[in-house]
Amino acid sequence: MKTFIKIFFLIIILFPAVSYCAEDGNIKTITIDTKEVEGKLKAGAVLGYPMGITAGYRFSDVFELNGVLGSSFHDLTAGVNGLFTLFNMKISDEIFPFSVGPALYSHFDHHDGNNDKGNDDEYTKIDLLGIARVEYNFKKIPLNLFVEAGLGLEVVKFADPAGSFAIGVRYIF
């Protein structure tokens, strides 16, 4: 965690030093076309285990890649999952896609209180999970709600059970 903070502040300090200064009239305009990602890119917040910010990109009707950066109550968590939509549940003319797939979560500066002296043990923990997600996209506003749960194994340090549960809201770009 300390290394992450040092790198973050180093980037903030160095960014103004390498910024480009242009003369009047020489400022170029960069046009970014968002039509390619329209309706495919989602970003927002997630509450649960982990808790933080999340983003996802739907490559097709079947596959979506997601990431999360946040905390699992006592560490910094970064994770990624790839979800495959198995079916769409239709309830009262509303569509709820059901997706499953693998997830990998890294928990930096994880504390478990289990070192040989009975004190807090600090280490990086990696979980490999199977995730199931149900989501809903509003028709009139660009918002996505989801609920997901995962089960798996802690694969680094110990071979213990691992899990996740989260509720999230994302803006659809």
- Provide the residue ranges of all domains of the chain, joining segments of one domain with +: 44-172
SS3 content of the chain, % helix, strand, coil (to 5): 10, 60, 35
Q: Is the pTM of this model over 0.95?
A: no
The domain made up of 44-172 has a fold known as: Porin (2.40.160)
Q: Give the number of other CB atoms < 10 A from CB of residue 69.
A: 14
| pLDDT tens-place string over residues 79-121 | 999 999 999 999 998 999 999 999 999 988 766 666 666 666 6
| pLDDT tens-place string over residues 42-62 | 999 999 988 999 999 999 999
Angle at 171 between CA 169 and CA 173, to 5 degrees: 155
Instruction: Quote the strand ranges of 112-160, DSSP E.
Output: 122-137, 143-154
d(CA 81, CA 108) in angstroms, rounded, equals 18
Does 129 have pLDDT greater than 70?
Answer: yes
